[in-house]
Structure 1
Amino acid sequence: MSLLDTLASSLGKSSPEGGGGSSALIAMAMEFVNNQPGGLNGLIQRFHEQGAGDIVSSWIGTGENKPVSPDTVTNVLGADKVDELAQKAGVPGDQLSGMLASVLPHLVDRATPNGEVPAEGKLDLTSVLGSLGGLAGLFGKSEGDKNA
């Protein structure tokens, strides 16, 4: 089982196609962030513009990650973008926004290990996946224990 499959199964998410679809959704989330105007910085800016700056800032900081609702994800990204991504993934839009709400806090958190956004504003697949190595176990812990 790949790391992405492990992450997806630990989230309890699956697509109609099975575990590979979940892996694709996680990879799609990373690709989406990187393809934002400004990459991760652009995504962070969108959260701030939509009144959810405190949420995204908690993911960057070294403390507890605040949860984000699927509705907030849809509001920040835009319903059209969520629908477009959902169509590509072959899942309903509400399922995709729920998956992104589960995955984005951890992706952003792992991409900013010292509370700093990478200068290039891109999620590096290799380094993020490497830091996600213990993430499957993390989902069984409280968020306050994430840096333990």
Structure 2
Amino acid sequence: MGLFDSVAGGLGQMLGGQQAQGAAGDNPMLQVVMGLMNNSGGLSGLLDKFQQGGLGDLVQSWVGTGSNLPISAEQIQQVLGSGALGDIASKLGIQPEQAAGELSQALPDVVDKLTPGGQLPAEGDLMATAQQMLGKLLG
């Protein structure tokens, strides 16, 4: 089972059995980021993509306890590629450039919140952290 499925399932339990993905749909960008993690082999796999793209310093700032360095829409495009970005844009109903811009705003914050204490959590801990984050966003 992928990370997004695990988080969605746990969120469903928190919401008393409601469809978790429908509830997470209240924040489509968070859903996209969770999907990116799921398709990349988890949070560490997604971060590896950015490190391999030459953005290791940025990624470390998101994981670390200091302030998050910004990432540009162009850097998102460079790492994810036009195919993945086009798929994301299609899911969100926006243009790929806008999707890259929104991801550039959301991704550092989501990674930061999923890595409390400046460490990549184990997958079980990551699921618990993601559930807490989703719970706060869903009120």
State the AA in 2 paired with 1:51: G
TM-aligned CA deviation for residue 31 of structure 1? 2.1
Does the C-alpha gap of structure 1 residues 117 and 65 become closer, same or farther in structure 2, counting only changes over 3 Å?
same
Match of 1:10 in 2: none
Change beyond 3 A, Cα 1:96–1:86: same
Taking a change above 3 Å as real, the CA distance of residues 122 and 35 of structure 1, as seen in their structure-2 partners, is farther
Matched, 1:26 2:30: yes
In structure 2, do the counterparts of structure 1 residues 56 and 132 end up closer, same or farther at CA, with 3 Å as the change threshold? farther
Which segments of 5 or more consecutive residues in structure 2 lack a partner in the other structure? 1-23
Normalized against structure 1, the TM-score is what? 0.68
Q: Deviations over 1:65-115 (max 9, x none)?
A: 000000101111111100111112111001101110000000000000111
Cα pair distance change 1:131/1:63, threshold 3 Å: farther
Task: Say which of 41, 44, 58 aligns to 1:41.
Answer: 44
% same residue: 41
**What is the match of residue 126 of structure 1?**
131
Q: Is residue 2:83 matched to residue 1:80?
A: yes
When the two structures are superposed, what TM-score results if normalisation uses the length of structure 2? 0.72
Asked if structure 2 preserves the Cα contact closer than 8 Å seen for 1:34 and 1:123, the reply is no
CA distance 1:106–1:131, change in 2 (3 Å): farther
Shift of 1:21: 7.6
Any conservation in 1 of the 2:36–2:46 contact (CA below 8 Å)?
Answer: no
Task: State the Cα distance separating 1:131 from its structure 2 match.
Answer: 6.4
Name the SS for the 1:68 alignment partner: coil
SS in 2 for 1:25: helix
Q: How does 1:89-100 map to 2 (within 5 A)?
A: 89-100=92-103
Q: Which amino acid aligns with 1:118?
A: P
Matching residue within 51, 63, 84 for 2:66 = 63
Is the contact between residue 29 and residue 106 of structure 2 (CA under 8 Å) also seen in structure 1? no
Which residue in 1 is equivalent to 2:118?
115
Residue 102 of structure 2 aligns to a residue whose secondary structure is helix
Q: How many residues align?
A: 113
Q: Distance in 2 between matches of 1:90 and 1:81?
A: 14
In the TM superposition, residue 57 of structure 1 has moved relative to its aligned partner by 0.6
Q: Give yes or no for contact 1:55–1:68 (8 Å, CA) kept in 2.
A: yes
